[in-house]
Amino acid sequence: MKTILFAYRVSDLERSLTFYRALGYTQIGDVVGGGDSSLVWLKLPDERSVSLELVHRPADGPVVIGGFEHLAIDVGTLGPTLDRLKAAGLTPGEPEFPAGPDGPKTAWLLDPDGYRIELVEWPPGHLEKVLNGDGS
């Protein structure tokens, strides 16, 4: 078994697509449902398949954020990523070192509906250790 994707419900599909494209996602598919409902599948350049689904269902009422903590994205090097996002009109937060100077460097970003996104630059070799179960 493996996780295929996760889905966010969004209030304004075009606004969200503009945001996620600026973040680096590309659209790889969509499904138009009944009424104004639709699903859009997105992926980042280094991903082999869809990883994020935007769900737009205006008839379901307002989008309410709750119970979801955040999405984390490995960005490689944080500084150039923050510069690129700012140039694209996004407003990421300042770099932080939540685990101290030898840990990952992070910055936070909110999407148009208020979903939190953690941008992460891992110390060399750290992510591989975590993915292999050798560290935290």
Instruction: Give per-residue pLDDT as tens, 67-110.
Output: 888 999 999 999 999 999 999 999 999 999 998 988 899 999 99
Report whether 107 contacts 119 (CB < 8 A).
yes
What is each CA distance from 116 to 14, 50, 110, in whole angstroms?
19, 20, 5
Residue 13 above 80 pLDDT? yes
What is each CA distance from 21 to 31, 43, 70, 111, in whole angstroms?
18, 10, 18, 11
% residues pLDDT > 90 (the chain): 73
Structural domains present in the chain:
1-59 (3.10.180.10), 69-136 (3.10.180.10)
Q: What is the pTM of this model?
A: 0.87
CA separation for the pair 77, 83 (Å, rounded): 11
